[in-house]
Amino acid sequence: MTLALVMALRLCEAQAAVEASAVYGLSGRPAFGALVGGTWSWDWAEFGLLGGYQAEPYVLYEHYLQGARVTGATHRVQVLATAGASWKVWRLALGAQLVGGWSHVVLHGTFVNEKWGVSGALDTAAGAFTLGAGLRITLRLSEHLDLSLRGLVPLPFASGVTGYATFALGVAYRF
């Protein structure tokens, strides 16, 4: 009975936080986007839900294609659940997480190279379950505001729908 009461009191000390970050992603090409989410933590344990969007604009690769015109982008949407642990020292926290959820990509674009007489269009979509690992470093700026640096890597790392490492820098508000 005493152990149950102690554990119930510890759960009451839980903290909730919301987070918004700018994202740089890397797979076959770089991507840019945003990541938003929320976490619930107490002591060392953390659980969360993240949603993200990244775009890989094809125009960044025109200079490699010898005069070709490229339009479009790959768009990636992810919904991920996280579970992990964090270790706190002073105002700094280091966390390790397991990540699982859904990734969906939409590829849409055109390619035209008049010099070679080549043109084409790409319009497809795919989705897959994502499983991976993450690291997060958090610096407490004030009683409620944190600066957060997060890295997520799918396992196994391979190109395609799920093979996409993301690095996010943002702020979190703790309640």
Q: What is the pTM of this model?
A: 0.81
Residues 6+ apart with CB under 8 A from 157: 163, 165
CATH of residue 39's domain is 2.40.160.20
Model confidence pLDDT, tens digit, residues 146-168: 999 999 988 876 556 666 788 99
Give residue 56's domain range.
14-61+77-101+131-174
Nearest-angstrom CA–CA distance, 158 and 129: 13
135 falls within a domain: yes
Overall domain count for the chain: 1
Would you say residue 110 lies in a domain? no
Under DSSP, is residue 104 helix (H, G, I), strand (E, B) or coil? Answer: strand
Q: Is residue 165 part of a domain?
A: yes
pLDDT digits (tens, 9 = 90+) for 85-113: 999 899 999 999 999 999 898 988 888 88
